Each structure stands twice: as C-alpha cells, then as structure tokens.
C-alpha cells in the first residue's frame, strides 16, 4: 500500500494562503481542515501533512521534469524533440525567462510553502490549551512526528533550491557564505508582503537546511510500519544530513551522519539492481526516501509522468535518448567472435525488425567485419575502424547485391542516414552484439536496441523488439506502459504510471560514505563500501571481500566517480556531483558550460518582477 498517495486522494484541494501565486503556489483550503485554515486535531494535521507531500508531485519536480534540468546538463540524455523551452536546457542556452526554470523554482517553493504552512499550524495546535489539556500522550507524540515530516520536506525543498539557485556551492574555489542564496520563509504566511523577500545568504541557507533536517531527525520515528509506508523517517533525515555535510566539505560530520542513517534505518542493498526501479519492489530495504506515485481515478491522478516525457517509444512520443557518451561508460570493450558473427548471419531477425534491413545487416557483417572476427578493441570507434575499406564503395556493393537478389527500391544510405559513421545503425547493432565485460547495470538503466522488447501500440498484448538505433531511458519506465494503464483503469492512456521514484537509496549513500571515509583517511571502509556497490552490480556476494571486481588500486576518486556514473546514471544525482567536485567545466565546457555562469540557474525574471528587481537580485552572468 502506498500510504501517502492513497490518503492524498481524500484531499479536495490544498492549503489556504492569501499570497504570491508565483513564489508559492496559490493555495486553497483542503478537506478536513476548518475553514479558518487552522489545524484542530491530529486527524486533520495528518491531512495537512499529506498535502505537504503533494508538493513533491510538481511537474517540474518528481512527476518527471526535474530530469530535464539534471540529466540534460550532464549529457546523460539527449533531446529528440523541438520544444524550445526544453531544448535550451540541453546546451546551457536557458535564461531568466525560461518557462522550465520558472516552473522548477515555483514547484520547489510550492513544496516549501505546503510544508511550512502545515508545520506552522501544527505548532500553533501544539500550544493550544484546548489540545494540551485534552490530547492523549500518544496524540501529542503523533503531532510531533507529523511536524518532523514537514521539517524534512522543507529541508528537502531548500536543499534543492540552494544547490540549484544559490550563487556557489561551498566547494567552489571562490565560495563566500555571505554571497546570495535563496529567500527563506519559515513562519506562517498570512499576507503576500511576507513573500516579497530578498535572498538570504548562502550561509543562512545551508544553516536552514541543516536545521530542518536535524529537527526532522529528532522528531521522526525509525520506521512507520505498513500503515504509513513511504513517509519520511529518522534514517532518511540522517542520510540527508550526511549529504549536506558532503557539500560543506565537513567529511567527519558527513561520515557520522551516514553511519547514523545506516544504523537507524537498517537498510540493505537489494540483491537485484533492477528492483530499485520497478513497481513490484517499491519501498524496499534499499530505499531511504522515495516519492510515492499512485494512479487511481480519472478525477485525481497522482501518477509519475516519466513515460510521457522520457519513454523511449519512437512511434508515439520518444522525446529523449541516452547519449552514447554515457552508454560507453558501461562497456569494457568489443569483440565480434565467431559465435556472434554466425548468429547475425543465421538469425538477423533477432537483431533488427524490418526484412530488408535484416539482409543489409548480414551483408555489413559479412563484407565489413568477417575478416576481423576475434579482434578485441576498447571502443566503438575502434570497432568501426576495423573496416579499412571505403564506405561509399561498400554501400554500392550492398545495393548491387540487393538488385541481384531481386530486391528493388532499397538504398542502404537512405535506409541508414548515418551510413559510413560510427553512429550508423548497423555499427550500433554489431557493436551491441559484440560487447565484452559490459557493466550489467546498463541493461537495467537503458532500453537496448534489438535486445529489449517494448509496447508500440494501444494493443496491450502486443510488444515488439526495441529496434530503434538509440538507447532509451529505462529506469521507472515499464516495458509495456499501455498494459500498466489498462490494469489501473487510467483515463485516456495519458502516459501515467505508478512506479515510485527512489530519490535517495542505499547504493548512493554507500558511495558517498566511501568518499567521506576516503577524505578522512579511512581507506579500509572507503574501499569496502565502494566494493559493496560494485559486487552487487556484478552478482557477487555483497559483503564478501575478494571478488574479481573489487577495487584493485589506482586513483580512488576516479574509480568512485566512475562507479557513481554507472550506479546512478539517469537518477538526477550526477550533475550535483560534478558541480560539487568542480568537474563541470572540464567535462562540459565544449558543450557551452560557462564556469562563471552555469554552476547555478538564473533567478526567474517573473519572480523578480513581482518581488522587486532591486530586492530579489539576479545571479551574475544572466
């Protein structure tokens, strides 16, 4: 049971607040709370807290589109559509008028506003003599736990806001805690003038994030049981405190809080990596905090929109693909051995759907690569270079073979618009079949051309090979979305599904803990926790040292970064990693990243116009 989502169905609308509809969502009264907006019981306090969780569902947050910012910035994803509002996110072309960035800011402050409103009103209830004199000890304790949940959510909102819009991260060479962060509002808002605030300092913002997570840690329980599955816990608050101290470069404190989270939460790595992204293993022992999705009725849809925005189906939406730069991080080399070659020749239908391209694949394998059977190369480019002939001449020969076989109206260069390049669909098919020592997490992270199957039609019983020439986003996206919609009686096949997003899980924490240990000189634990993640990925006993994939020396931080890239690809963590480690300029300078500008987003122009251009100041460079 997904507690948070199911209770939200009872909410008619959200909070009452007579405030700025841009910085904070326009909030209306929600079911169970009296008309004056005050909270009078633990029961309607619980409804208010559920309303606070609803802030996580913002379209520009975890309903799906937060990944437009976080995964385009790193080039994990490439964009295949024409929407200029999104396209500008792929090459740092955004500005203060970007609709996406304005929505991202608004959704984050919506999360803060809901949490702040509910929390403030619960504090009022906690001091109300009528409640104090009549409530049981259990009710008073429950109210404090609910306050802890709101502090957690507010801390999460300010954590994202500070990292995204604050002038610099603490690890930046020119960080100054007195420079600009984001506006902080932490009291009950009763009029819109309270929201017309200037930006607090970075030091104040980080202090606020810590204060919220520490309050949450003190008030939250270690677990809720099945009646509140998915609610924030003490272990989650401790884990986020560990993350905050990583940004503050206080690795001793980070290490302490990670250890507290592991002890309190009693988390365990799932034996199967893919179980962190599917419907059947939600709220599993590896999950530290996940956003709960449930698509229930045509009136209230609380589903993830990941399929519609990121799904790989090219016949309907298919707006993104995984970049080959990130696909290649999973590969250990290529070797077209005799067995693979024979299979391509004998069974091309396993590799490509259409009849004529199947025959073309056989001919490319025979004429370009037969002489290279058994050759091992490290990269896809090296595999491409195994053919030393002229690609135009090869195209002519293949077309002639088609004519001789009575197959007309086929031109391989028209069939494959990238013929003669490493991006040729035939090169990609042969290289995919020839992969060696490929990290197994690739198959659970990406839809693989000519390996996976996927639904292409509204016929729920029909799936076909995923035969495009690009790799698709797979995490949180079911192979047959249509089947999911039908089973849940969803309206109009709109692309929603119920898979929770695990926005903080133990695999991530283990790798951050490994870094904290390394920074503190604890090489033993640093290596072991890196190896735990690596062993799980390759199917070795997680806690047994000495596996063939254990870290065997070299630059530890290089190994750790590479491990995080494979473990967490497409999950929205790597961009903040690269910023924190000051690697964005080296990695993305050629794509337009300006180190004086793009280490944070612009403050949305619309917000500045409302609050005051001279009050809500802009980040330099925008």
359 shares a domain with 210: no
Beta partners for residue 505, in sequence order: 287
**Residue 61 falls inside a structural domain:** yes
471 phi and psi angles, rounded to 5 deg: -90, 135
The C-alpha atoms of residue 256 and residue 241 are separated, in whole angstroms, by: 9
pLDDT reported for residue 462: 64
Evaluate the CA torsion angle 593, 596, 599, 600 in order and state its sign: negative
Rounded Cα gap, residues 235 and 259, in angstroms: 10
> 191 and 264: one domain?
yes
Q: For residue 556, how many other CB atoms are within 10 A of its CB?
A: 16
Q: In this predicted structure, what is the pLDDT of residue 19?
A: 30
The pLDDT, as a whole number, for residue 252 is 98
> Does any domain span residue 347?
yes
| Domain-embedded: residue 559 | no
User: Alpha-carbon distance 454 to 479, whole Å?
Assistant: 5
CA dihedral in degrees (249, 169, 186, 213; nearest 10)? -30
Rg (CA), the chain: 26
Same domain as 61, residue 174: yes
Strands 501-505 and 376-377: unpaired
12 and 110 together in one domain:
yes
pLDDT at 30: 35
Q: Tell me how far apart the alpha carbons of residues 284 and 343 are, in angstroms, rounded to a whole number.
A: 39
Q: Measuring CA to CA, which residue among 202, 277, 332 is closest to residue 445?
A: 277
- CA nearest 126: which of 116, 135, 117, 138? 135
Is residue 274 located within the same domain as residue 337?
Answer: no
Mark whether 114 and 176 lie in a shared domain.
yes
pLDDT < 50 regions, the chain? 1, 5-35, 314, 488-492
- Is 147 found in the same domain as 235? yes
The helix/strand/coil state of 528 is helix
Model confidence pTM above 0.85: yes
Structure confidence at residue 594 (pLDDT): 97
Q: What's the structural domain count of the chain? A: 2
Is residue 44 situated within a structural domain? yes
Q: Are residues 153 and 11 in the same domain?
A: yes
Residues 6+ apart with CB under 8 A from 104: 60, 61, 65, 66, 69, 164, 601
Identify whether 538 is part of a domain: no
Give the number of other Cβ atoms within 10 Å of residue 536's Cβ: 24
pLDDT (tens digit per residue) in 328-341: 999 999 999 999 99
Asked if residue 330 and residue 198 are part of one domain, the reply reads no
Residue 262 lies in a domain: yes
Q: Around 229, how many Cα atoms within 13 Å sit in the side-chain half-sphere?
A: 15
Tokens of 117: 């409103």
pLDDT reported for residue 195: 73
Tell whether 146 and 256 lie within a shared domain. Answer: yes
Strand segments, DSSP code E, in 433-544 are 446-447, 453-455, 463-465, 472-473, 501-505
175 in the same domain as 285 = yes
Cβ atoms of residues 3 and 290 within 8 Å: no
Asked whether residue 594 is domain-assigned, the answer is no
546 belongs to a structural domain: no
Confidence at residue 480, expressed as pLDDT on a 0 to 100 scale: 60
Q: Among 479, 501, 521, give the residue marking a domain's end.
A: 479
Task: Identify whether residues 351 and 271 lie together within a single domain.
Answer: no
- pLDDT value of residue 222: 97
Q: What integer pLDDT is reported at residue 196 of this predicted model?
A: 84
Query: Cβ distance 509 to 294 under 8 Å?
Result: no
pLDDT (0 to 100) of residue 432: 87
pLDDT digits (tens, 9 = 90+) for 204-258: 999 999 999 999 999 999 999 888 989 999 999 999 999 999 999 999 999 999 9
Q: Are 499 and 279 within 8 A, CB to CB?
A: yes
Q: What are 145's two structure tokens?
A: 């736990």
Q: Do 456 and 464 form a contact (C-beta atoms < 8 A)? A: yes
Q: What is the domain extent for residue 89?
A: 3-304+602-611
- Domain end position, chosen among 479, 501, 530: 479
Domain boundary among 479, 508, 539: 479
17, 120 Cβ separation under 8 angstroms: no
């Amino acid at each position: 049971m997904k507690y948070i989502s199911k209770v939200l169905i009872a909410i008619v609308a959200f909070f009452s607040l007579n405030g700025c509809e841009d910085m904070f969502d326009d909030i209306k009264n929600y079911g169970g709370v009296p008309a004056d907006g005050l909270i009078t019981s633990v029961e309607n306090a619980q409804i208010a807290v559920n309303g606070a969780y609803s802030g996580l569902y913002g379209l520009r947050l975890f309903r799906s589109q937060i990944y437009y910012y976080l995964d385009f910035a790193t080039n994990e994803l490439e964009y295949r559509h024409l929407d200029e509002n999104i396209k500008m996110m792929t090459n740092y072309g955004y500005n203060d008028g970007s609709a996406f960035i304005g929505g991202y800011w608004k959704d984050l402050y919506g999360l803060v506003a809901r949490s702040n409103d509910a929390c403030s009103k619960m504090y009022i209830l906690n001091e109300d003599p009528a409640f104090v004199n009549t409530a049981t000890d259990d009710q008073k304790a429950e109210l404090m736990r609910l306050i802890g949940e709101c502090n957690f959510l507010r801390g999460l909102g300010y954590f994202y806001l500070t990292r995204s819009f604050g002038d610099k991260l603490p690890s930046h060479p020119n960080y100054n805690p007195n420079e600009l962060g984001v506006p902080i509002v932490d009291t009950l808002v009763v009029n819109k003038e309270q929201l017309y605030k200037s930006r607090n300092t970075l030091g104040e913002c980080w202090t606020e994030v810590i204060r919220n997570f520490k309050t949450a840690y003190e008030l939250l329980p270690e677990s809720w049981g099945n009646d509140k599955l998915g609610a924030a816990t003490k272990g989650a608050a401790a884990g986020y405190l560990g993350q905050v101290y990583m940004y503050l470069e206080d690795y001793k404190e980070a290490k302490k809080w990670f250890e507290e989270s592991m002890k309190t939460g009693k988390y365990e790595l799932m034996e199967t990596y893919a179980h962190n992204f599917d419907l059947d293993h939600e709220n599993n022992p590896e999950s530290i905090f996940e956003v709960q999705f449930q698509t229930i009725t045509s009136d209230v849809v609380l589903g993830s929109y990941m399929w519609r925005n990121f799904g790989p189906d090219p016949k309907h939406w298919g707006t993104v693909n995984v970049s080959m730069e990130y696909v290649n991080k999973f590969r250990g080399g290529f070797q077209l051995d005799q067995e693979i070659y024979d299979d391509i020749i004998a069974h091309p239908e396993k590799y490509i759907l259409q009849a004529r391209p199947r025959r073309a694949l056989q001919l490319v394998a025979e004429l370009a690569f037969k002489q290279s059977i058994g050759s091992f190369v490290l990269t896809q480019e090296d595999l491409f270079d195994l053919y030393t002939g002229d690609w135009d001449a090869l195209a002519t020969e293949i077309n002639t073979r088609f004519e001789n076989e009575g197959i007309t109206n086929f031109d391989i260069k028209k069939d494959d618009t990238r013929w003669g390049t490493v991006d040729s669909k035939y090169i990609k098919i042969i290289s995919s079949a020839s992969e060696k020592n490929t990290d197994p997490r690739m198959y659970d992270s990406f839809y693989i051309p000519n390996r996976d199957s996927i639904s292409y039609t509204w016929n729920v019983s029909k799936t076909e090979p995923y035969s495009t020439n690009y790799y698709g986003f797979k995490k949180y996206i079911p192979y047959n979305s249509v089947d999911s919609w039908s089973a849940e009686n969803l309206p109009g096949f709109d692309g929603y599904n119920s898979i929770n997003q695990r926005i903080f899980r133990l695999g991530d924490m283990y790798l951050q803990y490994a870094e904290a240990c390394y920074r503190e000189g604890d090489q033993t634990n640093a290596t072991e926790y890196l190896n735990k993640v690596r062993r799980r990925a390759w199917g070795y006993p997680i806690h047994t040292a000495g596996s063939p994939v254990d870290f065997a020396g070299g630059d530890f931080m290089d190994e750790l970064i590479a491990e995080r890239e494979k473990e967490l690809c497409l999950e929205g963590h790597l961009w903040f990693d690269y910023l924190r480690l000051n690697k964005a300029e080296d990695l993305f300078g050629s794509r337009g990243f300006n180190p004086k500008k793009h280490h944070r987003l612009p403050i949305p122009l619309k917000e500045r116009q409302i609050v005051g251009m001279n009050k809500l100041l802009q980040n330099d460079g925008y």
